[in-house]
Chains A and B, each alone.
Chain A
Amino acid sequence: MSTELLNPLLERPLALHPQVALRPEPFGALAYHYGNRRLVFLQHTDMVSVVQHLGEHPSLAATLEACGIDRRRWPSFAKAVESLMKSEIVVER
């Protein structure tokens, strides 16, 4: 896959919003934002570990790498993280 097709979000430094709590569930996790009171379903355990570790790595791509996510799945992860940013569950550092 050529790099220009990659979502530019992959290069950004991200983090879980400090007011967000994650609660593990059999299907993944629930994320609740105490600030805007939004409740979001993280529908896969891989997604949960990515979101939890975002703040420890220089970029989303580095986090995906560190979490052992197959590169073919990166576009869908970037899209999912993008939607989490709309509800401010995930923010830019």
Chain B
Amino acid sequence: MSQLKTGLDAPICLTWELTYACNLQCVHCLSSSGQRDTRELSTSEAKRVLDELRDLQVFYINIGGGEPMVRRDFFELVEYSVASGIGVKFSTNGAFIDTEKARRLASMDYLDIQISLDGVDAATNDLVRGAGSYDMARRAMDNLAAADFGPFKISVVVTRQNVPQLDEFKALADSYGAQLRVTRLRPSGRGVDSWDHLHPTNAQQREIYDWLMSNGENVLTGDSFFHLNALGDPLPGLNMCGAGRVVCLIDPVGDVYACPFVIHDQFKAGNVRDPGGFAEVWKRSDLFTSLREPQSAGACASCGSFDACQGGCMAAKFFTGLPLDGPDPECVGGDGEVALAQLAAVPVALKPRPMQDHTKPAHANRNGRLVVT
């Protein structure tokens, strides 16, 4: 929709990573989370941001992290948000959803929960999310189901390893009366080092597209697969990059980025602690203003599929070192693979790296390598 590209008065979909602290160290973590950042927003600062979002009439926020439930004021902030008329959807690995917390969560209105799961079995899931994380997630799902939470969401990042499990993910969600959400893997955060091993092959892209088309609106996608639209009819959803136009990210220290997948200075628009707060950043920052101007199709201009795929994902191009006005690294026409092959001669050091790393120092996955357990 053309008016969305010029930006809205406030974001539709605002992600707020509450903390960089996390009990897990997933190899594809978009925010390279692990350790808490000492500059994290305080409870009162976070409430001031919520006041601003209420005044901007932001309907709901997506809370993530890190693991948001690590924050001691997690329930206080969620309750404050909901009481302000801002619905909350939050992503969690489930570690802290015991029977008591499940009951507390089930008693709240306007609260949606996404439990992350990247494999239908422990072997597939734990390879990416770490040992014990599969059981952790399933226990949280069992607790939510026992507490009659209602239809929570199971959130899957689609990888080369789990594409063959899409039907089983759907069956698992159905068995809980849950809703399945599948999203695209980006080479962001620690994903910059694991993307090569994890991202779906070009043949699998077709498989994902066909599967999404046949499952329609019963499966949520966060509108993240629009690069696949070059394969045929458009998938359900907005089918455009919303970065800085309808979407943005507030990180744990209050920095505002164009989207959750571009935690890098080049896409930082400001900070909620700046004069004028979040609203000023959203409405007037140079970065967001420029993202709302017509974007060049660049090398994709002559491709007949550009209207369908919009050139794909800005974050995916950026962190694989590709130009922003060229093909997506997973371009279904194969142009991305060609561009990546040309880039292979460029020293790795010249590619953009995430500008911060909250990975715990001692961790075995420090280099983003898959740890085979």
Contacts and interface: CB of A to CB of B under 8 A. Distances in A.
Name the residue among B1, B10, B59, B85 with the largest chain A CB count within 10 angstroms: B59
A26 B87 CA distance: 23
A41 B12 CA distance: 11
B57 A41 contact: no
A23 B9 CA distance: 9
A27 B12 contact: no
Interface in A23-82: 23-27, 30, 32, 34, 37, 39, 41, 43
A30 B85 contact: no
A39 B9 contact: no
A21 interface: yes
A76 to B, nearest CB: 18
Nearest to A32: B59
Nearest to B110: A34
Give the interface size bracket for B toward A.
10 to 19
Contacts of A27: 3
Nearest to B10: A23
B136 interface: no
A24 B9 contact: yes
Contact of B87 (A25, A34, A43): A34
A21 B84 CA distance: 13
Contacts of B9: 23-26
A43 B1 CA distance: 10
B12 A30 contact: yes
Main secondary structure of the interface of A (DSSP, over half): strand
Interface string B42-60: 0000000000000001011
B176 to A, nearest CB: 18
B85 A21 contact: yes
Given A30-B8, A37-B112, A41-B1, A23 B57 contact: yes
Contacts of A43: 3
Nearest to B112: A37
B12 A39 contact: yes
Nearest to A19: B110
Interface string B1-23: 10100001110100000000000
A53 B121 CA distance: 53
A43 B57 CA distance: 18
Contact of A23 (B1, B59, B110): B59
B123 to A, nearest CB: 34
Nearest to B56: A23
Contact of B59 (A24, A26, A39): A39
Contacts of A39: 12, 59
Interface in B287-342: none
B59 A21 contact: yes
Contacts of A23: 9-10, 57, 59
B8 A37 contact: no
Contact of A37 (B1, B12, B87): B87
Nearest to B1: A41
A24 B57 CA distance: 9
A39 B112 CA distance: 15
A25 B1 CA distance: 14
B8 A25 contact: yes
A37 B150 CA distance: 14
Contacts of A41: 1
A61 B358 CA distance: 59
Interface of B: 1, 3, 8-10, 12, 57, 59-60, 85, 87, 110, 112
Interface of A: 21, 23-27, 30, 32, 34, 37, 39, 41, 43
Given A37-B60, A37-B112, 5 more contacts: A23-B10, A24-B9, A26-B3, A30-B59, A34-B87
6 contacts: A23-B9, A27-B3, A30-B12, A30-B59, A34-B59, A34-B110
Which 4 residue pairs are nearest across A and B when measured between Cβ atoms? Answer: A32-B59, A27-B3, A23-B57, A25-B8
